[in-house]
Each structure stands twice: as structure tokens, then as C-alpha cells.
Amino acid sequence: MTTYRNPDENGYYGEFGGAFVPEMLYPNVEELQQNYIEIIESEEFKKELNDLLKDYVGRATPLYFAKNLSEKYGTNVYLKREDLNHTGAHKINNALGQVLLAKKLGKKRIIAETGAGQHGVATATACALMNLECIVYMGEIDIARQAPNVARMKMLGAKVVPATSGSKTLKDAVNEALRDWINNATTTHYIIGSVVGPHPFPDLVARFQSVISEEIKWQLKEKIGRENPDYVIACVGGGSNAAGTFYHFVDEPSVKIIAAEAGGFGVNSGKSAATTFLGTTGVLHGSKSIVMQTNDGQVIEPHSISAGLDYPGIGPFHANLFKNNRAEFFSINDDEALESAFELTRLEGIIPALESSHALHVLKKKNFQKDDVVVICLSGRGDKDMETYLKIIDK
Ligand SMILES: *Cc1c(COP(=O)(O)O)cnc(C)c1O
């Protein structure tokens, strides 16, 4: 049987993945490749991380049966409440895991990139907790549109460094962080915030996020007497909340997998981040995947209303699901995500992140049956997006 969950020893999911890095990064990447599984699967590490996830993050997050949403769409909708995690999104699952890993590797300095600021806040939080130096690279445009998260990172003691090249957003922040890592290879661990980057990062981050589907399984069993839903749905920027939500289901053929990408103004508008609709095979940020690029390999600037989905690639895990038709991909536009954000707020009293609202909108795009059990990952809360939402309320 093919497994979709695990890459091969070189970090390949089918034809996607690998580690394409400059020679100066080989020692770091190899150090990680050789040690990560042994460290993170050790009983001592698992206990330390699980204690933190329980008492510091607040896990297990609820699996909430959304009665009003279910009635409206004539099916059974369960929301996996990652929005209730400490710091407001799933990002903390990975940040804590990687900071613990960095400590085991003897690193004193942590760098990270961030888009919406959620990964930056999560990393700064974990570094404050464990007394490590923290530097966060963030696109200049994102710094302007995510001011509350920038303030939180600074209050937590992190240094926020603007990325001023390209579109001044997430992909440029990743480039800056990789550059820093090359210059500070021995002292520094780079905490990538999604299932992207050179092997072993996609697998490392997927393992730390897999707690999401691990919990869904026992929570569903408790609620409806079976572990597997009919559908799991998540939004995909780089794909970490989606990889975590899909992880324990991708190799269960009865579970249908749905990924929601950011359509921006529309797939054919020239302002989009719908990678599987627009992309081709290429190498971005150290791994081979599907990338939005011109014929001569220049990365095309993405657009999404949500900073967390504003990325011109997807992780190799998801590229492989797409290539093999294991997952169905939807492109959800800015205005559609906004519509679903307001719908959830008014129907259930939950203000979701704009990113998560892309996943919610699949309810309007696909017909589910009365008996279907549909689990949607609510990856984060909407506090950081209030400025965008207010523009609509005030209209
Ligand atoms: C960062 C973020 C995302 C997108 O990142 P993935 O790696 O694709 O999960 C989605 N939702 C929220 C709330 C985020 O903060």
C-alpha cells in the first residue's frame, strides 16, 4: 500500500520533496535529518512536549458539533477548535516542538519567518518560555497589516526584522531567514512555520501538527462511535494545519480529503495564491513541489486577503496528494472567505481567522449528504483580522 503520510528516507513524497540547499547549509540540514526522529520519538521528549501541550497550550482542543451550521447545510459539521490554543492558532503545536528540539541540539538562538504573524508570535512565546534568543523575519507589508501581532512579538522579547525584497511578504521573509541560517549555521535553529522547506522540515512539522488528527480520532469515537469521518477539510497556505488534520486519515481510503487554497481575486485574475490551479513543478525554499512561477522559473507574486495563505507554493505532502488525486482542491476567493467568516460568527458565535474561513467556504461549494460526518479545521481565531472585518461592518 502506498503511504501518503510518510516521505521516503530522502524526504520525498512521491516525486515531491527532497533537500535543495546551498552547500553551507548541508551540515545543519544533515544534523537535523540524522537526529530528528530519534529525538522527537523518544519517551522523554514526548512526555515533555505532551505536558506542555496539555497544560500550557490547553490541548486537547474541542471537537465541536456545530449544530446551526449543520442545520443550514443539511449535514453534520464538526469544527476542530485550533482557534482555542494558546496564542490563537495551530502554530504553537509546531513552535513548541521545534524549540524543544533546538534545545536538545544545543542551539541558543532561534530564527523564524512569519506571514500573518501567528507563527512569529508562537515562536516568540516558546522562546520566552524556554529563555532563548528569538529573531523573526517578516515582510514589510505584513508588518503593516498585522500590527497587533508585531506588538505581541516585541512584548515577548523577539526582534522583528522587516523583509524588504520582492513582494515584501511571506516568501521574502523565508528567503531572509534562510540567509540568516547560512550565516549562523552552528549556533542557530531555524523554526520553519509550515510543512515546507528542505527535508526534514515538512515531515518534522507534519509530525508536530499530527496531534490534530490524533485527537479527532478519539474525539469522534467518543461522540459518534467511529474514528473516521467521511470528510476532513482544511485550508492550505504552506499546509501545516492541513497536514495535521489529514495526517492520520490520508492512508484511510474511506476518508475523503479536501484542501482549500486562497483564490485571491480569482484564479484567473492575476492576483491569486491558488497554487495547485496555477502552479507547475519547481523548487522553492529548498524542496521540490508545485510552485507559482513563470516559464523561466521566476516566482509569481501571490495574493490573498489572508496573510497566512499568501504563499506561492504548497508543501510536498500536499503536492503529492494533489498529483495522485488523493485530495480534492478548491480555490476560495477573498470575498467568499469573508462571507464565511461572517456566517460562522453569526450562526455559531465564533469569529474565525480569515485563513480558516477559506476552509469553511467549502460548505457552499460541495454538496454533503445528510449522514456525512464533515470535520473542518478551524485553524485560528479572528482577533488578528478585526481590522479587515471592521471595514465590512462599517460599510
Ligand atoms: C499560518 C496560518 C495558516 C496557514 O498556514 P498552514 O501552514 O497552511 O496551516 C492557516 N490558518 C491560520 C490561522 C494561520 O495562522
The residues near 14 (Cβ < 8 Å, ≥ 6 apart) are: 319, 320, 323, 324
Termini Cα distance of the chain = 54
Asked if pLDDT for residue 8 goes beyond 70, the answer is yes
Q: Which of 43-52, 220-229, 295-304, 331-340 has the lowest mean pLDDT?
A: 295-304
Asked if residue 178 and residue 68 are part of one domain, the reply reads: no
Contact 92, 125 (CB under 8 A): yes
d(Cα 222, Cα 52) in Å, to the nearest integer? 24
Question: Is the pLDDT score of 395 beyond 90?
Answer: no
Segments forming the whole domain that contains residue 285: 58-88+210-394
Minimum-distance ligand 1 atom for the alpha carbon of 193 = 7
Radius of gyration of the chain (CA): 19
Q: Specify if 6 maps to a domain.
A: no
80, 91, 171, 384: which one is catalytic?
Answer: 91
Determine the distance separating the centroid of ligand 1 and the alpha carbon of 81, expressed in angstroms: 13
Q: Is there a cis peptide before residue 62, judged by omega within 30 degrees of 0?
A: no
Domain boundary at 138, 168, 200, which?
200
Q: Which of 179, 200, 221 is the last residue of a domain?
A: 200
Residues 366, 311 share a domain: yes
Strand order through the sheet with 256-264: 63-65, 76-81, 373-378, 231-235, 256-264, 327-333
> What mean pLDDT comes out for the span 43-70?
98
Q: Which of 82, 107, 113, 331 is catalytic?
A: 113
Q: How confident is the model at residue 32 (pLDDT cuts 50, 70, 90)?
A: very high
Element spanning 275, H or E: helix 275-278
Residues 68 and 98 in one domain: no
Listed residues 140, 171, 200: the one ending a domain: 200
381 CA closest ligand 1 atom index: 13
230 and 268: one domain?
yes
Distance CA 16, CA 257 (A): 19
Q: Distance, CA 41 to ligand 1 centroid (Å)?
A: 25
How far is 5 from 213, CA to CA, in rounded Å? 12
- What CA–CA distance (Å, rounded) separates 376 from 395? 30
Question: Closest residue (by CA) to atom 1 of ligand 1?
Answer: 308
Q: State which ligand 1 atom lies nearest to the alpha carbon of 244.
A: 9
Query: Quick one: pLDDT at residue 197?
Result: 96
Q: Whose alpha carbon is nearest atom 5 of ligand 1?
A: 237
Give residue 64 CA to ligand 1 midpoint distance, Å. 20
* DSSP letter assigned to residue 19: -
Say how many domains are in the chain.
2
Q: Which residue has the cell 494533489?
A: 322
Residue with cell 515531515: 203
CB 286 within 8 A of CB 197: yes
Q: What is the whole-number distance in angstroms between the Cα of residue 48 and the centre of ligand 1?
A: 25
Do 217 and 265 lie in one domain? The reply is yes
Q: Are residues 147 and 171 in the same domain?
A: yes
Dump pLDDT digits (tens) for 378-392: 999 999 999 899 998
Q: Give me the phi and psi of 282, to 5 degrees please.
A: -165, 180
Residue 5 is assigned to a structural domain of this protein:
no
- Each residue's pLDDT tens digit, 187-229: 999 999 999 999 999 999 999 999 999 999 999 999 999 999 9
Residue 156 lies in a domain: yes
The answer to whether residues 35 and 165 belong to one domain is: yes
Please tell me whether residues 266 and 332 are part of one structural domain.
yes
91 is annotated as an active-site residue:
yes
To test the pocket of ligand 1, the residue of 241, 306, 388 to mutate (highest count of ligand atoms within 8 Å of its CB) is 241
Cα(353) to ligand 1 centroid in Å equals: 9
The helix/strand/coil state of 293 is strand
Query: What is residue 2's predicted lDDT score, i.e. its pLDDT?
Result: 62
Instruction: Give the other-Cβ count within 10 Å of 118's Cβ.
Output: 28
Q: Are residues 223 and 287 in the same domain?
A: yes
CA 50 to mean position of chain CA atoms: 20
Nearest to 327 by CA among 385, 226, 251: 251
Within this chain, do residues 78 and 17 fall inside the same structural domain, yes or no?
A: no
Measured from the Cα of 356, ligand 1's closest atom is 11
Q: Is residue 295 part of a domain?
A: yes
Residue 316 lies in a domain: yes
Quick one: pLDDT at residue 185? Answer: 87
DSSP string, 306-337: SGGG--SB--HHHHHHHHTT-EEEEEEEHHHH
pLDDT at 1 over 70: no
Taking only the tens place, the pLDDT of each residue in 247-259 is 999 999 999 999 9
Known active-site residue 379? yes
Q: Are residues 314 and 236 in the same domain?
A: yes
In a domain? residue 4: no
* Active-site annotation holds for 113: yes
Residue 1 included in any domain: no
Instruction: Report the pocket of ligand 1 as residue ranges, CB < 6 Å.
Output: 89, 91, 116, 118-119, 194, 235-242, 308-309, 353, 355-356, 379-380
Q: How far is CA 219 from CA 215, 226, 256, in A?
A: 6, 9, 18
Q: Distance, CA 112 to ligand 1 centroid (Å)?
A: 15
The pLDDT score that the predictor gives to residue 169 is: 86
From atom 7 of ligand 1, which residue's Cα is the shortest distance away? 240
Distance 1 CA to ligand 1 centre (A): 30
Asked if residue 8 belongs to a domain, the reply is no
Q: What percent of the chain lies above the pLDDT cut of 70? A: 99
Q: Whose CA is nearest to atom 13 of ligand 1?
A: 380
Tell me the backbone φ, ψ of residue 82, rounded to 5 degrees. Answer: -65, -15
| Closest CA to ligand 1's atom 3 | 308
pLDDT tens digits, 311-370 = 999 999 999 999 999 999 999 999 999 999 999 999 999 999 999 999 999 999 999 999
| CA dist., res. 354 & res. 85, Å (int) | 17
The pLDDT assigned to 220 comes to 98
Q: Which is nearest to 120 in space by CA: 143, 141, 101, 100?
A: 143
Same domain for 226 and 355, yes or no, is yes
Residue appearing with cell numbers 522527537 = 40
Cα–Cα distance, 301 to 377 (Å, whole number):
27
CATH number at residue 111: 3.40.50.1100
Which DSSP state fits 297? S
C-alpha cell at 190: 531555524
The cell for 252 is 484511510
